[in-house]
Amino acid sequence: MNKPNRLLDHFGYIKLYIMHSRKLAVAGKRLDICANEVAIYLLQCGKGKYVLRDKICLEIGSGWLLTHSLVFYLMGAKKVYATDVYPLLQPENIFHAVSKSVDWSILDSLSTFEDREIIHLRLKKLLSLKKISVETLKELGIEYIAPIDLSQKMPTKEKIDFIFSKSVFEHVPVDDVMPLLKNIESSLSEDGFMFHLIHLLDHKNMSERPFDFFVYPQEAYSRELQSRWGNRIRRSQWKHIFSNLKHLDSRFVFEWLCKDGVLPEKIDSSIQYTDEEDLIVSHIGVFGELTSFPKVKS
């Protein structure tokens, strides 16, 4: 391929990124929707007032718009590291994610965790920023770091109070899962905690054929496919993986099933699972916090 064609491909991808992020900004990544999500997750973890005030937060896989990181800013976080393995951020569309939101919904969702007036003042500041850039975000205390592979290194040496991810861990190749988790475990502050929503369906066509990736033999299911369609780790394996973190006390705060999906006739022998229910779990919510007590193996 010659250089002009490579340039055309590059600019074509940029255009697609911008269009995709613009759609997300007025749909699933609107600030009010993300605020509602974070509130639900924190309540299920048993967290309440001032949980993020003056805290250092880390978002893993912050995506196109950083709206979950913006929620942490609204909740009073002192510093937010927004990270991604690829530089996906489209800052020109962040304002749409903020301005198209319902402000009272944001305030109602987050007032359990921070004083309503403080949230309101920070939200007004966001709305006043008609043009948002990486530099603007940094002034708010949100530092965007991409590309970075957290299975290899962390974005900072300082201890982190809250680590968050949504629909990210299923895209981590199997061999990188434990190095990633050990890195984030070791980065937690003494009172630090983490929450991860993990989406376990086949991302190739999750609405119509959510379990098709079970048919591929291990040798045919490359790291690239694990990242794109999902690493195929089931609920029982995730429970085992988290239980092997020596200094983390973890629990599943919820799990959801995909009962209307059809399992393939043959499940490849490389898929590790306990029973049919284990196969059809679609989402798990994992809460973890440091423990100073030795873990007792069950």
Q: What is the pLDDT along the chain (298 residues), one digit of tens a residue?
A: 444 444 335 445 556 667 888 898 989 999 999 999 999 999 999 999 999 999 999 999 999 999 999 999 999 999 999 999 999 999 999 999 999 999 999 999 999 999 999 999 999 999 999 889 999 999 999 999 999 999 999 999 999 999 999 999 999 999 999 999 999 999 999 999 999 999 999 999 999 999 999 999 999 999 999 999 999 999 999 999 999 999 999 999 999 999 999 999 999 999 999 999 999 999 999 999 998 654 544 4
Which domains, and CATH codes, for the chain? Answer: 3-290 (3.40.50.150)
Instruction: Give the number of other CB atoms < 10 A from CB of residue 274.
Output: 12
258 to 16, 33, 90, 204, 292: CA distances (angstroms): 30, 22, 32, 16, 37
- CA-closest candidate to residue 39, choices 101, 124, 111: 111
In the three-class reduction of DSSP (H, G, I as helix; E, B as strand; rest coil), residue 57 is classed as: strand
Radius of gyration of the chain (CA): 20
pTM of the model: 0.92
81 to 57, 73, 152, 157: CA distances (angstroms): 6, 11, 16, 12
61 φ, ψ to 5°? 75, 60
At 10 the pLDDT is 43
At 4 the pLDDT is 42
Q: Which residues of 124-136 are buried (b: 16+ CB within 10 A; e: fewer)?
A: eebeeeeebeeee
Query: What is the Cα–Cα distance from 164 to 184, expressed in whole angstroms?
Result: 10
